[in-house]
């Protein structure tokens, strides 16, 4: 009997090498659990019908001595990543019947490693949301309390790992869409440095912000997944050359200097239990030998406003291709303009339409300079400020979220309140730096224990520092 609930990627690899069970047996066991859990969580949009065939190929690789750390490991992918011959809908009615004709680079790397890709996970439509309620396949529910959200937009991937419905998963993070659901579901979530992981085959939302990253049960597993998908890709013009990345990787350290932007983490509106958990986690890291110092990042609170100008602007441009003519959902009409309006009006959900309208507005004549150019100027200011901070500290620590998971439907009528959920996560995307959310404890709400997380940010290509501090959080807060 395989204990799927506690099984990690690291342990599963050791078990497969030791022939305690086969990749096929592991895939079957995880599939049974995933399908059982999915009736409650709705984490998956689809389980692929070739899972067992993939597992049999992995067993062959292992038998021939060609297997690696991910060979035979059951992994889930977010519904906005292309896998050849499989549907990729990005959680939208617009692409409900779109079948990919090629593999995303990250999917190709998983296949090459011999991973078993279980299926596609539900997400906020076109990755727009912080709760995975805006999905054509219905909302995803938090495995810790089915009346609450898992976070978003990668809520399906986070819920899959949290419910033992996959040993690891991939998500995309444009403003916190990996780290926020990781915190609310009690798993590890990494947003790598912008350009460290190829976005080729990822459906674009905001191209200067999007980044693919892993979900896992442990820091060690997240590191394994990151190593597998990391690296330069000539098919992605934003992908950073390997020699540049290697030149910027800092020297390894076991004890780090952690910066706390006090005015930012002390702002009003944070749940008292989350604030207390953050402080106690920092104290535990001090006792573990890390140095903690206060820093000031006065521009950081402006990151959210910058994000909600730049992201809708880029979204409106990227989603212009879904017009009811070339591909995707199309509504027949007598006139061309009616085809556009009715196809996009019915094919896109409410939140997507809202952001397209907002983005089109800030890019329009008369407002481009007032909003979009000004947002980019403030973005440069924030980035410069954060980079200067890294000359004195190795990582910056802030909470991942302002509160534990909120109730399904609680914020859907108030988009501004929903957008404020991203306040601690958007700075990493604005500055293009890596960020990780690590489980740091539990709080009780309505008789249910809900997870919360702590977030660490590092300079570009310093993911190693994030893994170092994350391991100490696991040791001291586990």
Q: Known catalytic residues?
A: 78, 153, 177
- Residue 156: closest CA among 140, 179, 169, 170: 140
Q: CA–CA separation, 438 vs 429, rounded Å?
A: 18
- Residue 474: closest CA among 291, 260, 288, 293: 288
């Amino acid at each position: 009997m395989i204990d799927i609930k506690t099984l990690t990627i690291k342990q599963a690899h050791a078990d497969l090498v030791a022939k305690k069970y086969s990749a096929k047996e592991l895939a079957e066991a995880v599939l049974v659990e995933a399908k059982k859990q999915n009736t409650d969580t709705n984490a998956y949009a689809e389980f692929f019908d070739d899972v067992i065939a993939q597992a049999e190929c992995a067993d062959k690789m292992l038998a021939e001595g060609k297997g690696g750390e991910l060979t035979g490991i059951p992994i889930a992918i977010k519904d906005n990543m292309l896998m050849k011959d499989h549907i990729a809908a990005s959680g939208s009615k617009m692409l409900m019947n779109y079948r990919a004709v090629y593999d995303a680079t990250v999917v190709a790397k998983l296949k090459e490693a011999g991973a078993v890709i279980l299926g596609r996970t539900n997400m906020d439509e076109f990755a727009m949301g912080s709760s995975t309620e805006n999905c054509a396949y219905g909302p995803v529910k938090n495995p810790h309390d089915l009346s609450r959200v898992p976070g978003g937009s990668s809520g399906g991937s986070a819920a899959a790992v949290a419910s033992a419905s996959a040993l690891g998963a991939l998500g995309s993070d444009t403003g916190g869409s990996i780290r926020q659901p990781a915190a609310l579901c009690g798993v590890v979530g990494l947003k790598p440095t912008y350009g460290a992981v190829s976005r080729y085959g990822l459906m674009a939302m905001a191209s200067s912000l999007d980044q693919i990253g892993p979900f896992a049960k442990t820091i060690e597993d997240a590191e394994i997944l990151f190593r597998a998908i990391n690296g330069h890709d000539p098919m992605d013009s934003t992908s950073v050359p390997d020699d540049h990345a290697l030149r910027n990787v800092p020297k390894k350290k076991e004890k780090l200097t952690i910066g706390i932007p006090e005015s930012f983490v002390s702002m009003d509106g944070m749940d008292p239990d989350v604030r207390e958990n953050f402080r106690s986690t920092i104290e535990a890291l001090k006792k573990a030998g890390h140095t903690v110092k206060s820093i000031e990042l006065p521009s950081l609170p402006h990151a959210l406003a910058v994000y909600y100008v730049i992201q809708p602007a880029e979204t409106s441009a990227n989603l212009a291709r879904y017009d009811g003519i070339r591909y995707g959902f199309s509504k027949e009409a007598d006139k061309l303009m009616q085809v556009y309006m009715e196809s996009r009006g019915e094919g896109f959900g409410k939140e997507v339409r809202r952001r397209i309208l907002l983005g089109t507005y800030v890019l329009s004549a008369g407002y481009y300079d007032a909003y979009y150019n000004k947002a980019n100027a403030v973005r440069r200011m924030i980035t410069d400020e954060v980079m200067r901070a890294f000359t004195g500290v190795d990582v910056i620590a802030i909470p991942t979220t302002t509160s534990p998971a909120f109730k399904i439907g609680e914020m859907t009528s108030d988009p501004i309140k929903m957008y404020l959920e991203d306040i601690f996560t958007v700075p990493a995307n604005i500055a293009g730096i890596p960020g990780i959310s690590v489980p740091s404890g539990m709080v009780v709400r309505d008789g249910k224990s809900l997870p919360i997380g702590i977030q660490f940010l590092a300079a570009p290509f310093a993911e190693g520092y994030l893994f170092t501090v994350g391991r100490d959080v696991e040791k001291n807060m586990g």
